Amino acid sequence: MSLSAANQGHPSPRLEADFGVTVHSALLIVGLGKTGLSIARFLAQHGLRFAITDTRENPPGLEAFRDEFPDAAVFLGGFNQPAFEASSHLIMSPGVALDHPFIQAAQRRGVHLMGDLDLFAAVCEAPILAVTGANGKSTVTTLLGLMGEADGKKVRMGGNLGTPMLELLSRETELYVLELSSFQLDTSHRLEPLAATVLNISPDHMDRYQDLGAYAKSKQRIFKGQGAMVLNRDDPVVAAMLEPSRETFWFSVEDEAADFCLREVSGETWLCHREHPVMCRRDLKLHGGHNVANALAALAMGYAAGFSEAAMVRTLSSFKGLPHRTEWVEQSGGVDWINDSKATNIGACVAALQGTDQPVILIAGGDGKGADFRELRPVVARKVRALVLMGRDASKLQAALSDLVETRMVDTMKEAVSAARSLALPGDVVLLAPACASLDQYKDYQERGRLFAEEVRKGAP
C-alpha cells in the first residue's frame, strides 16, 4: 500500500509514548469529510505517513484532499481490506461505526484504534473544557467560549460544533472549549479536561448503540482524568456518573440543594450559586425552559474554570441563542413560528415542547435513528394540538402518536408549512422540532431549518 510521506515536522513525543505512533507507522484514516481532512492535515504537519478509505465514492472534502495530498493512497466506494491489513493504526472519523468487520478484525490483531480527540489531547498545551450530552451541548459550548472571551482569555471552541478540533490548535490559545459527540468519545483514551460535563441523557443514535446504557457509557468517557465534574442532578442517569473522590459541581432547575440552582428572591426567580443570587431569570435572553438548565450548566463549568461572575453574567444577559435551536422566526396572525431544526432526537423535541406554554402545532419527522417514538406520547398529549409529519420515518411517528392528536402527512417543507398554517389558531406556536435527523431529505439540519424559515416568511399564498 502506497502511503503519503509528508515530512513537514516531527511527531509529538506523546503520540509515540501514548499510541506508538512514529514516522514508520502506517496510519489509515477511516472516513473523510471535515474531520478526516483535518486529521490528514495534522498528520502531514507531524511528518507522518497515511492513507485514507471511505465507503462513499465522492465523500465531502475529497477534492481538497487530492489537491493537498496528491501522493496519498485513497480507497473509495467501500472499505479496502488490504489497506486495513497493512495499517498499524486506524484513525477513525466519528461518522464511522466501529462494528465493521474490517475494524473488528484490526482490533483483534492489536491495531491501535484512535480518533481526532486523542491526537488533539496528545499535543494540546492549554486547558480544555469539555461538553457533551444528548441535547444543549452546542449552546453550552458557545456560552463557555463567549464567557471565556468576556473574561479576557484567548479562547478557541469547536469539535463536534463548527471547526474540527485539530484545526483549533495554536500556541497562543489559553483555553479550548470542545463540544464532543458520543462517537468522538468512543475512540478517546487520553482526554484530561480541566472540567467536563454530561448535560443530559436521552435516546439518540439508537441505530448505533445497543441500548441507552451503552450510549450513556460512551458519554461518560468525557470524565477521564481528574478534572472537575459538572453533573445534572435532575437526570438520574447523569447523576449516577458521580465519582465521589472528584471535585463535583451540580446544577438543577428543580433542587435548591444543587450548587447552581433556581431560587425565589424578592418574588422573582434567580439563577443562583448556592444561596448567592447570580442573575434574574427574566434577564436571560435564551428562549425556553430547557435553556435555563443550559445556563446553569454553563455557570457551573465557568465557575470550575475560574471565570469571573461578571463576565459570565454579561454573556448570559446578551446571548440570544444559536440558529436552528428554538429560534424565533416571526409572528403572523397571532401565531409564533419557532425553528428548532437542531432537535434531531426525542429528548431535544421534548425539551422544545416543554419550553413553551402555548398550544403547539408540531412539525416532525425525518430519520429517526432507531428511536422509539412512543416516548413522545406524554409530552405530545399535554402540549401538542396537531401534528404535521414528513420524511422517512413519518409513518412510524404517525403509528406512535396519531391516536392522540390530529395528524397531517406531507412530503415537503413547503407542504408542511402550508399544513401548519391551516391548522394554527391565534395564540398557537408552530414548532419545527423534528425529533429526527435530516439527512433523508436535506444536506443537514441547517438546510432543513433555513427552508422552514424561508417558507414561513413567504406568508400565506
| Three-state SS at 166 | helix
DSSP 435: S
Residues pairing with 113 in the sheet: 90
For the CA atoms of the chain, what is the radius of gyration? 23
Cα 319 to Cα 140, 142, 285, distances in angstroms: 11, 9, 6
* Cell 391516536 belongs to residue: 403
Query: What CA–CA distance (Å, rounded) separates 390 from 68?
Result: 41
DSSP single-letter state for residue 392: T
Helix ranges (DSSP H) in 198-328? 212-220, 236-239, 290-305, 309-318
Classify 130 as helix, strand or coil.
strand
Catalytic residue among 205, 219, 290, 342: 205
| Sign of the torsion formed by the C-alpha atoms of 181, 56, 445 and 155 | positive
137 is catalytic: yes
Catalytic entry in 135, 160, 291, 294: 160
Question: How distant is the alpha carbon of residue 21 from its chain centre?
Answer: 29
Q: Name the β-bridge partners of 198.
A: 132, 231
| 217 included as an active-site residue | no
189 is catalytic: no
Concatenate the DSSP letters of all residues of 73-86 into one string: -EE-SS--HHHHHT
Active-site choice (46, 89, 112, 137):
137
Say if residues 76 and 54 touch (Cβ distance below 8 Å): yes
Which of 350, 30, 102 has the alpha carbon at shortest distance from 203? 350
Pairwise CA distance, residues 88 & 20, whole Å: 9
- By DSSP bridging, strand 128-132 and strand 360-364 are unpaired
Alpha-carbon distance of 432 to 324, in angstroms, equals 9
Task: List, by residue number, the catalytic residues.
Answer: 137, 160, 205
